[in-house]
Structure 1
Amino acid sequence: MSLEAPCIPAEPEISGIGVRVAIYAQNLLSFIPAISALSDGEVAIYELEAVKDQSTTILITAFGILISAMVQARTLGLPNFHANVVLNLSWMNNTNTFIYFLLYVQHKSQLGPQQIKSDLESWFRHFKAHFSHSVILGDRDLDLKPEGQRDSATVLENPALEPQSLLSAIFRVKVRGVVGLLGSLHLSMMSALGLWLWANPRSFGTAREANACAMEFSSTIIFGRSVPLASSGLRIWSLLIYAVLLVPGLNLLWPTMLFLFLIKFYSAWRKPQQRRDARKARRAAQKQKLKLDSNSSGRQSLLPTPGPDPTSHPPPPGLTKRARSFARRSLWALQMWYNPFLLPTVLGMVLLFAINIIFIVDTEVTLRTNRPLQEEGESDWTFGQTLALLLLVLPLRDLRVFGARRDVSASLRNAVHWQAETDILWDLVRRGADVNVEAEGAQYPTVLLLAVARRRDVEFTKILLSCGANPDIPDSTSCTALQAAASQGNLELVKLLLAHGANPNIEGGQHGTALQAAAVSGNREIVKVLLEHGADASIQGGKYGTALQAASNLQYTEIVELFQAQAQRGGGHWLH
């Protein structure tokens, strides 16, 4: 067969310039929020949610080109040459799944109330639990109970009023991990098209003559190398790859395991460096201790007193004191920004960006190389291309979140007022919100009160107290976090709050003081701990009077005996 005239029909609705530019642009734009999210060394919850919205938008529109290609192949006819172009564009679209995945792993590996250890076993358990509950069949009646009436154990996973999708509204089905679900289904649909195409390229669809022409004369560009479309090696490798990626769910397993093994390798590589850093820190602490001891005893210090750290390099000549101070602050800021497990995520993002550029170049070179085979009209402007460009409004809209810095303290106040999820609260605190900001009119006006009194979350309470949360701020009933923990009988929270300076003698709430609340709850250990931390047993208040009277009226014999023993040691003036 000799080529005398163009023999591949034009398909501007499938691979026209407008469609290609739209796909290229939306996929490259998807890296902007990812770069913005990683720019400060951590991925915040609002950044992850914004990336999820953008990835979902792109993946939903990506289904359109696949469905259009399959329908056209069965009806009007789609040449195998253009089907191969569609597959190239679909590979690009699916990188959004892995962009979200990288940011999700980075977010979950950061310090926070739901941190996941950077090891394969922890991540395996996490993904197993996540996907085993991905689709939940609900009751026929929507659960619209207010936050205060819900089980505190489910607060983190089930916000008070979750947005209902059309699917969940009709069938009462809740879908978690929508990006992973859409990405997996998109990979499966793309693989189905790939298997259909490469099972028998000459008989693909209904465009038999165009298929024969393409198999005879056309070629495709792979990593810059021209490969004939009739190549048996191309066909075998294509069938193998698409067969591996056909099954939904499993098709995401291979890239997931690859990235997790990268994290494992990086973690193992860093362990020797971490041990060396720990040894250096211990030596520096010992030197500092020697310096302080020698200075306090009046002897000459073994180490130079004021001045730069002897282990550091001397400052370059000519630098002013202000310049050296700026350099030290810059180094400190860099150390605060740097996240040791950020490197695998950045490398993965660079790899995805490189893959996108490779597909763009290969697709454009493929179309240019085979242009003599294509009939006129490939570059005609059609309604489909206009629509494709208009769809760019959606990813551009999703970029509005990034770079906009809001008043995080005001955001935390609103989040506390509406009792937002713990992840959101922690993210706002981490971003610099005033941890003691109060939401006026709320039942639990501070994030600490919400964590202790409402959710009994020990780990989050530890984080908040380490960030400077004031444990003595009362709630709407004048009850402090310590009083709430004592009333609940939560010994771990009581010890934690007392260790961070909570005052056990503040009066308020239903019972009076934390000691009276503990006596009413009948918890002897909490009463003992409070007495050891200076709780005043003589304070009157609440329903029963003193803490001893409360324990006596409620017949808590062990607590009464504890009070009597304490009174004998301290003089016993409050015993009666």
Structure 2
Amino acid sequence: MSHELPCLPAEPEISGIGVRVAIYVQNLLSFIPAISALADGEVATYELDAVRDQSATILITAFGILISAMVQTQTLGLSGFHANIVLYLSWMNNTNTFIYFLLYVQHKSQLGPHQIRNDFISWINHIKAHFSKSVTVDERPDVTLKLQGATESTADFESADLQPRSILSLFFRVNVRGVVALLGSLHLSMMSALGIWVWSRPLHFGIEEEVNACALDLSSLIVVGRSVPLSSPGLRIWSLIIYSALVVPGLNLLGPFFLFILIVRFTSSWRAKRQMDFRHARRASKLRSSGINPPKPTSQTPGVTKRARSLAKRSLWALQMWYNPLLLPTVLGLVFLFAINIIFIVSIEVTLRQNSALIDPGESDWTFGQTLALLMLVLPLRDLRVFGARKDVSAGLRNAVNWQAHTEILWDLVRRGADVNVEAEGAPYPTALLLAVKQRRDAEFTRILLSSGANPDIPDSEDCTALQAASANGDREIVKLLLAHGANPNLEGGQYGTALQAAAAAGHTEIVKLLLEHGADASIQGGRYGSALQAAAASSGENPNTEIMELLQLHPRAQSQDHTRSSQSGSGRRWFG
């Protein structure tokens, strides 16, 4: 079939330079918060929230180009060639979902009270719990914060975020859990629906058959660096297979999700093996220094000298010590997503250039739609500004903790998005939670900080955790809050060694019961007294606290520990758990 050139109508509102540049820029901008969040080796809660906000903003605007393409197909008509340009742009927009997903997995995999193990069962259980209540009211606690040193008339500090005063304010406090996953899945499904529509009947897609015939006969697409004719049967088959596999909402995210978890699992296993090899190498070095020649490894890389192998191993270990190896899967994922964006940008530009002779000259006209698309860049740029502002707020919270500012100031900074776990190095109470628990013994502010994501296991300069301090002080309500939010009762450090020893030494029977109920180990050795039982006996003097001693003696581990210690008393050796 012969065609007169050009034979494809121009679509400046869809593939014009303004639209393309806007989508390119907003997708590349989405990597900036991700890189900034990973720069310090951890993804803080406020950093994850910033990436979530930006990803949701870009995904919402990404629906616009898909919806406009579908509407135009049904009204004015759209060629299959330009529909594929829309699909290429939509593939780029999908990367925002996976950027947030990478950082979310990294955040949840980090050490802390709510850490999720890197296996499929743990993540499946987490997903079930996360989406069991998909729509909830804002989780900020509905409490009244009583300020230190305030009078009765000024003691009640009520935040508008905490106390909704109207039905309208309550409506705006309703949020959808997993909003990025929801938007990303729906966008992927809508894109796949358009792809199936295009490739199921390419000759009859949404415009005159003569125009589509021109597109099929003469135009081509750049697919991973290769020029493939639009009429290629292989291109059509593979397109239908891929889009059909991604069309079902929810299920279209499971494949990438489990693939990434598998990579994280593999990386963790590899890191554990490297650490074991390093320990074996150190043990062998110590044996050689003692005059003992350890057996040489049975397999060595041929053609590589011993000095080169040693240098490579030391360099690899130094790299692991300098760079957090737990970030490796996330960094590789970001590099892969960035490469995908570059591939699609190059593919779109080369595709349009090599088919420019087929398209009417109006394709390069500047239109209102292109101007509007560029103006939409204000939204991701605004999110970048907010992200930087949150870093400034976190620095402000660090200074406020260092200077032990009033509770009202601390809470205001946390509410404005500061990282609640930011540490003031050198301060006697390096975090806001330690300041609230150890110095102020403020149960309500402790509740707010824990609900905002505070890590209860961060120690102070003397390795004393908030749980140990609250147990020593006898603050039962604070102890309950800390345990309910995942505080580890068996962390060792500080003056007493463990929280159980601190409570036993101070004679706080109810707190001892609470700690034992939450898995505290009475057999742990260390601290000022040596064990929780010794702490209870030594601090009681002439009037021993028999109830605490009975509780500790009834503890299974304490019984076995006491039996072992008595059996070793004749040998004069000190027992270590």
Q: Report the Cα offset of residue 394 of structure 1.
A: 1.6
Counterpart residue number, 1:507? none
Counterpart residue number, 2:198? 197
**Conservation of the 8 A alpha-carbon contact between 2:224 and 2:347:** yes
Matched, 1:518 2:503: no
Q: Report the Cα offset of residue 46 of structure 1.
A: 2.1
Q: Report the Cα offset of residue 376 of structure 1.
A: 1.8
2:54 partner amino acid? Q
> Which of residues 429, 435, 445 in structure 2 aligns to 1:436?
429
Q: Report the Cα offset of residue 338 of structure 1.
A: 1.8
Query: For structure 1, which segment, 223-232 or 239-248, has the greater mean C-alpha deviation from structure 2 after superposition?
Result: 223-232
**Conservation of the 8 A alpha-carbon contact between 2:446 and 2:478:** no
Query: For structure 1, which segment, 243-252 or 486-495, has the greater mean C-alpha deviation from structure 2 after superposition?
Result: 486-495
Matched, 1:410 2:410: no
Q: Report the Cα offset of residue 50 of structure 1.
A: 1.3
Counterpart residue number, 2:135? 136
Q: Distance in 1 between matches of 2:382 and 2:77?
A: 35
Q: Secondary structure at the match of 2:13?
A: helix
**Conservation of the 8 A alpha-carbon contact between 2:536 and 2:549:** no
Q: Distance in 2 between matches of 1:371 and 1:148?
A: 65
Q: Report the Cα offset of residue 21 of structure 1.
A: 0.6
Matched, 1:464 2:468: no
Which string of whole-angstrom CA distances, capped at 9 and with x for unpartnered residues, describes residues 342-392 of structure 1? 222111111111111111111111111111111121011111101111111
1:257 partner amino acid? F
Which string of whole-angstrom CA distances, capped at 9 and with x for unpartnered residues, describes residues 70-119 of structure 1? 11111111111111100000000110111111111122222222222223
**Conservation of the 8 A alpha-carbon contact between 1:120 and 1:264:** no
**Conservation of the 8 A alpha-carbon contact between 1:452 and 1:485:** no
Counterpart residue number, 2:370? 385
> Which of residues 492, 500, 514 in structure 1 aligns to 2:494?
500
Q: Secondary structure at the match of 1:2?
A: coil
C-alpha distance 119-162 of structure 1, shift in aligned 2 (>3 A):
farther
TM-score after normalising by structure 2: 0.70
Counterpart residue number, 2:143? 146
C-alpha distance 528-13 of structure 1, shift in aligned 2 (>3 A):
closer
Which string of whole-angstrom CA distances, capped at 9 and with x for unpartnered residues, describes residues 386-429 of structure 1? 111111122122223249552442365678646969x9766313
Matched, 1:532 2:536: yes
1:397 partner amino acid? R
Q: Distance in 1 between matches of 2:189 and 2:124?
A: 22
1:251 partner amino acid? N
Q: Distance in 1 between matches of 2:488 and 2:473?
A: 6
1:345 partner amino acid? T
1:343 partner amino acid? L
Counterpart residue number, 1:103? 103
Matched, 1:369 2:363: no
**Conservation of the 8 A alpha-carbon contact between 2:52 and 2:180:** yes
**Conservation of the 8 A alpha-carbon contact between 1:29 and 1:395:** yes
Q: Distance in 2 between matches of 1:472 and 1:132?
A: 30
Q: Secondary structure at the match of 1:428?
A: coil
Structural mapping, 1:34-433, within 5 Å:
34-133=34-133, 135-136=134-135, 145-146=142-143, 161=162, 170=171, 174-281=175-282, 337-400=322-385, 401-402=387-388, 404=391, 406-410=395-399, 417=411, 427-429=421-423
Counterpart residue number, 2:473? 482
TM-score after normalising by structure 1: 0.70
**Conservation of the 8 A alpha-carbon contact between 2:8 and 2:215:** yes
**Conservation of the 8 A alpha-carbon contact between 2:145 and 2:445:** no
Query: For structure 1, which segment, 52-61 or 529-538, has the greater mean C-alpha deviation from structure 2 after superposition?
Result: 529-538
Q: Secondary structure at the match of 2:118?
A: coil
2:102 partner amino acid? L
Q: Report the Cα offset of residue 536 of structure 1.
A: 5.7
Residue identity over aligned pairs, in percent, reads 52
Which string of whole-angstrom CA distances, capped at 9 and with x for unpartnered residues, describes residues 230-272 of structure 1? 1111111111111110011100011111111112222333333
C-alpha distance 81-472 of structure 1, shift in aligned 2 (>3 A):
closer
C-alpha distance 200-124 of structure 1, shift in aligned 2 (>3 A):
same
Q: Distance in 1 between matches of 2:247 and 2:182?
A: 14
Q: Distance in 2 between matches of 1:410 and 1:190?
A: 47
Q: Distance in 2 between matches of 1:113 and 1:524?
A: 16
Query: For structure 1, which segment, 225-234 or 184-193, has the greater mean C-alpha deviation from structure 2 after superposition?
Result: 225-234
1:258 partner amino acid? L
Which string of whole-angstrom CA distances, capped at 9 and with x for unpartnered residues, describes residues 477-497 of structure 1? xx8853114996899989769
Counterpart residue number, 2:569? none
C-alpha distance 433-257 of structure 1, shift in aligned 2 (>3 A):
farther
Q: Distance in 2 between matches of 1:376 and 1:128?
A: 53
2:225 partner amino acid? G
Q: Report the Cα offset of residue 515 of structure 1.
A: 4.2
C-alpha distance 487-202 of structure 1, shift in aligned 2 (>3 A):
closer
Q: Give 5+ residue unaligned stretches, structure 1.
A: 150-158, 291-311, 314-327, 505-512, 539-545, 560-576
C-alpha distance 280-386 of structure 1, shift in aligned 2 (>3 A):
same
**Conservation of the 8 A alpha-carbon contact between 2:505 and 2:535:** no
Q: Distance in 2 between matches of 1:61 and 1:489?
A: 45
**Conservation of the 8 A alpha-carbon contact between 1:453 and 1:481:** no
Q: Distance in 2 between matches of 1:24 and 1:248?
A: 25
Q: Secondary structure at the match of 1:535?
A: helix
C-alpha distance 364-171 of structure 1, shift in aligned 2 (>3 A):
same
Counterpart residue number, 1:22? 22
2:60 partner amino acid? I
**Conservation of the 8 A alpha-carbon contact between 2:436 and 2:446:** no
Q: Distance in 1 between matches of 2:436 and 2:337?
A: 47
Q: Distance in 1 between matches of 2:91 and 2:492?
A: 56
2:229 partner amino acid? P
RMSD: 5.0
Q: Distance in 1 between matches of 2:139 and 2:115?
A: 31
Counterpart residue number, 1:155? none
Q: Report the Cα offset of residue 131 of structure 1.
A: 3.1
Q: Distance in 1 between matches of 2:440 and 2:398?
A: 11
Q: Distance in 1 between matches of 2:360 and 2:326?
A: 52
1:464 partner amino acid? P
2:494 partner amino acid? H
Q: Distance in 1 between matches of 2:239 and 2:139?
A: 46
Q: Report the Cα offset of residue 123 of structure 1.
A: 2.4
Q: Report the Cα offset of residue 18 of structure 1.
A: 0.3
C-alpha distance 219-448 of structure 1, shift in aligned 2 (>3 A):
farther
Q: Secondary structure at the match of 1:221?
A: strand
Q: Give 5+ residue unaligned stretches, structure 2.
A: 147-159, 291-306, 309-313, 499-503, 517-521, 523-530, 552-577
1:436 partner amino acid? Y
Q: Distance in 1 between matches of 2:120 and 2:94?
A: 24
